[in-house]
Amino acid sequence: MTATSIFYIIIGILVFDFLLERILGFLNYTWYSKAIPEELADVYDQAAYEKSQEYKKTNFRFGLISSTFSFLGILLFLYFKGFAIVDEIARNYASNQILVALLFFGIIMLASELISLPFSIHSTFVIEEKFGFNTTTVKTFILDKIKGYLLTALLGGGMLSLIILCYDWAGVNFWWYVWILIFVISLFMNMFYAKLFVPLFNKQVPLEEGDLKNKISDYAASVGFQLDKVFVIDGSKRSTKANAYFSGFGSEKRVTLYDTLIEQLTEEEIVAVLAHEVGHYKRKHIIYNLIAGTLTTGFTLWLFSLFVDSSLLSEALGVNLSSFHIGLVAFGLLYSPISTLTGMVMSLLSRRFEYQADYYAKDTYKKEPLISGLKTLSKTSLSNLTPHPAYVWFHYSHPSLQQRITAMNSDVVY
């Protein structure tokens, strides 16, 4: 196989991915106006339903424009040997392999951010604002971007440096050491993300004493779940959309409730949502996800180690001098079909976990407040109640609302 062949394979993969996403998006679009299932008839009134239709269609059109722009951009970048140009610029300012790689990815990410920034601004301050979701101020938006850049530079740059050091030290066997390193970091992030990183962007305060906390404590005690850490996060700082999540394990396990969730749901509905989150912990979903992610990462690193020394990968991107960072970019582009498949498997696993967590909440608390709570969350976020099955299969980490309600109303044990 020649470098030219690999180049055209990369182009073919990019075209296939783009067309697949457009087809899935169009199929989903054709179902926007599908009749609402009977069990969901009480989610929207006519005005809210029409608003949800317009919201979905607006995002579809915007996504089509932004994704087409990105697709054409990467094609032009490849055609004009953009990676070779950036690599040459990086080598003009550094000779150390790690510094060259850091400069290379720094330039790529800076250019990518400059291109995507107008789309991000439009999405936040035009679309989300139009439909009443946006509460982000310009100051918050700018600070979020700056903090994100700094974290990417420190954590991403540090991680890349360690990976290249492992490669320089161990050669093609580097993947073992990087795999262990990533596992340790993943474990650390699962344990301490909410404690160390969330406060950089949001305020977290313990749930105040009162009826809601008492009901949560009573439920936790009834299922033998020690829950000392229930936090409220100021999600309303950026959006009116609500959420709740479980993080950590052992002594660091905690439940985080968005303040918007507390505003939009009744206390019974909030306890039901929390019961769902406890279900994730009781069914060991966090651990299973960690294991699945670790195995996927190991497979990816092993596969990369087979090609990392190939000069053909660098030449396929128009770079004559082979290097770790160019090989990483080429491999990432070639790996896309496998990534799509593994992503589908992980989404399938995630949807299974959601059914199990719903069943746990139904079994240990009540299904009615969970169902009504999910309906309220769908209404307030203008969710799509009739997604196309193919789109769900490829993209949804959660079953559709109809699927979840049908499962909870059935006698099936998950």
Give the three-state DSSP class for 309: coil
Report the pLDDT value the prediction gives residue 227, as an integer from 0 to 100: 82
3-class DSSP state for residue 137?
coil
Residue 233 phi, psi (nearest 5): -110, 145
Q: What does the pLDDT read at residue 253?
A: 81
CA 25 from centroid of its chain's CA atoms: 18
Neighbouring C-beta atoms of residue 376, cutoff 10 Å? 17
Contact by Cβ (8 Å): 361, 276:
yes
The pLDDT, as a whole number, for residue 144 is: 95
pLDDT (0 to 100) of residue 295: 94
Alpha helices, DSSP H only, in 227-365? 259-264, 267-282, 285-307, 311-316, 324-334, 336-364
Q: Under a CB-based contact definition with an 8 Å cutoff, are residues 6 and 331 in contact?
A: no
Query: What is the SS3 assignment for 132?
Result: coil
- Residue identified by tokens 């966090």 is 286
Q: Rounded to 5 degrees, what are φ and ψ at 258?
A: -70, 145
Number of helices followed by number of strands (H, E) in the chain: 18, 4
Q: Beginning with the edge strand found earlier in the chain, give each strand of the sheet holding 230-233 in spatial order.
A: 204-206, 230-233, 254-258, 244-247
DSSP type of residue 131 = T
The residues, any chain, with a CB within 8 Å of residue 160's CB and separated by 6 or more, are 98, 101, 102, 105
Helix (H, G, I), strand (E, B) or coil at 240: coil
Paired with 206 in beta bridges are: 231
- 355: amino acid identity, one letter: Y
Structure tokens at 19: 């067309």
Q: What is the pLDDT of residue 259?
A: 94
Catalytic member of 87, 128, 269, 277: 277
Asked whether 264 and 242 are in contact (CB, 8 A), the reply is yes
Question: Rounded to 5 degrees, what are φ and ψ at 239?
Answer: -155, 160
From the candidates 128, 269, 315, 358, which is the catalytic residue?
358
Buried b (16+ CB within 10 A) or exposed e, 6-18: bbeebeebbeebb
Q: How far apart are CA 340 and CA 300, in angstroms?
A: 13
Instruction: Give Cα separations from 198 to 74, 138, 190, 258, 335 (angstroms).
Output: 32, 20, 12, 12, 31
Active site residue 228: no
- At 252 the pLDDT is 77
8 A C-beta contact, residue 267 and residue 212: yes
Q: Is the pTM of this model over 0.85?
A: yes
DSSP letter for each residue of 167-209:
HHHHGGGHHHHHHHHHHHHHHHHHHHHHHHTGGGTS-EEEPPS
For the chain, give every domain's residue range.
1-83+171-414
| pLDDT tens for each residue of the chain, 414 residues long | 788 999 999 999 999 999 999 999 999 999 998 888 888 999 998 889 999 999 999 999 999 999 999 999 999 999 999 999 999 999 999 999 999 999 999 999 999 999 999 999 999 999 999 999 999 999 999 999 999 999 999 999 999 999 999 999 998 899 999 999 999 998 898 888 888 899 999 999 999 999 999 999 999 999 998 888 889 999 999 999 988 888 877 777 888 999 999 999 999 999 999 999 999 989 999 889 989 999 999 999 999 999 888 888 999 999 988 899 999 999 999 999 999 999 999 999 999 999 999 999 999 999 999 999 999 999 999 999 999 999 999 999 999 999 999 999 998 777
358 is catalytic: yes
Q: What is the pLDDT of residue 193?
A: 87
